Structure formats: C-alpha cells, structure tokens
C-alpha cells in the first residue's frame, strides 16, 4: 500500500509539469513533492531523512509547477515550507501529522514563492517601462541638447579669417 501511494504521488508530480505556469500549480506541486519526499525520506533516514526529503521534494514540486521566470523563488518557498511543515507536523501529530504538515507547508511555500517572484518581476518591468518612457520623452521633443555642433552660442573667429 505504501509503495502504491508513493508511485501515485510521483506520477502526479511528474505529470504536473504539463500544466506548469501558475501559483496554484506551484502550490499543488509543492504539496505533492513535500509528501513524496517526506515518505521516501522517512523510509530511508528516519525523522531527519523525512525533513530533508520533504524539503527536496517540496522544492522540486514547486519548481515544476511554477512560472518559468519564478522557479527559483517557488523552489525556495516549497523547500522551506515542506521541511518546516514536516517538523512541526511531526511534533503535533506524529508520522501522519508530519506528512500533512509537509503537504501544507510545501503547498503554501511554493505558491507564496511563485507569487512573490511574479510580483518582483512585475515591479522590475514597471520600473523598466518608466525609465524608457522618460528617456524617450527626453529625446523626442525638439532638438534639446542633442545637436552638439549647433548649440554653441558664440562663433569662433580665427586670425587667418580676416
């Protein structure tokens, strides 16, 4: 039973890449990755292995489901959320609590990381647009200061012109 659920979760995680691209998908990927990583880590290395596995699985699942430009942020959020949720869930509810905590933490962390990555890029794009708009305004209206050879007010007379 344990192996069939692990296989089902891994299939869901891998197939989640086909739907990659949003905050919801990053959350679902982080949750599935966190649970899968915690289960595999628990069987290999006990409680410490479960926490490490949840972190690695949450990072991988969140990155698979995140937007292309926000994968790093989603992976960091999914890893921290899944590992933290696993540890806290174990203290509250034992092995079952650790799996639930890994799922909740990985999902929330992956979704939050993807959202924050998107917002950061949106702000950067907005700043770039403002910069280029201002720069364009300076160069579009009139001659301005761009005509270097015509902006001198005084003509220079040379001795040999007389």
Query: pLDDT (tens digit, 0 to 9) for every residue of the chain, 162 residues total?
Result: 455 555 445 555 444 444 446 888 888 888 999 999 999 998 998 999 999 999 999 999 989 888 888 888 989 999 999 999 999 999 998 888 999 999 999 999 998 988 888 888 777 777 666 666 555 555 555 555 555 565 556 666 666 655
pLDDT value for 17: 46
Domain residue ranges in the chain = 9-139
Instruction: Please tell me the predicted confidence (pLDDT) of residue 1.
Output: 45
The answer to whether the CB of 80 falls within 8 A of the CB of 116 is no
Q: What is the CA 157 to chain-centroid distance, rounded?
A: 65
Mention every residue, 6+ apart, whose C-beta is less than 8 A from residue 30: 58, 61, 62, 65, 74, 77, 78, 81, 82, 106, 107, 108, 109, 110, 111
> How far is the CA of 85 from the CAs of 51, 60, 70, 73, 75, in angstroms?
9, 16, 22, 18, 15
Identify whether the C-beta of residue 106 lies closer than 8 Å to the C-beta of residue 57: yes
Query: C-alpha angle with apex 79: 53 to 50, nearest 5 degrees?
Result: 20
pLDDT for residue 19 = 45
The pLDDT of residue 23: 82
Quick one: pLDDT at residue 158?
A: 64
């Amino acid at each position: 039973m344990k192996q069939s659920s692990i296989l089902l979760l891994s299939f869901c995680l891998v197939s989640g890449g086909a739907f990659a691209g949003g905050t919801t998908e990053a959350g679902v990927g982080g949750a599935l990755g966190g649970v899968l990583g915690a289960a595999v880590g628990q069987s290999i290395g006990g409680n410490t292995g479960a926490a490490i596995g949840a972190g690695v699985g949450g990072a991988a699942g969140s990155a698979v489901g995140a937007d292309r430009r926000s994968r790093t942020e989603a992976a960091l959020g999914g890893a921290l959320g899944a590992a933290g949720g696993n540890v806290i869930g174990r203290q509250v509810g034992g092995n079952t609590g650790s799996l639930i905590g890994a799922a909740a933490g990985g999902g929330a962390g992956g979704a939050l990381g993807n959202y924050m990555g998107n917002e950061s890029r949106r702000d950067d794009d907005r700043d770039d647009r403002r910069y280029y708009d201002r720069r364009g305004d300076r160069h579009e209206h009139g001659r301005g200061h761009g005509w270097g050879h015509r902006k001198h007010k005084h003509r220079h007379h040379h001795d040999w012109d007389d």
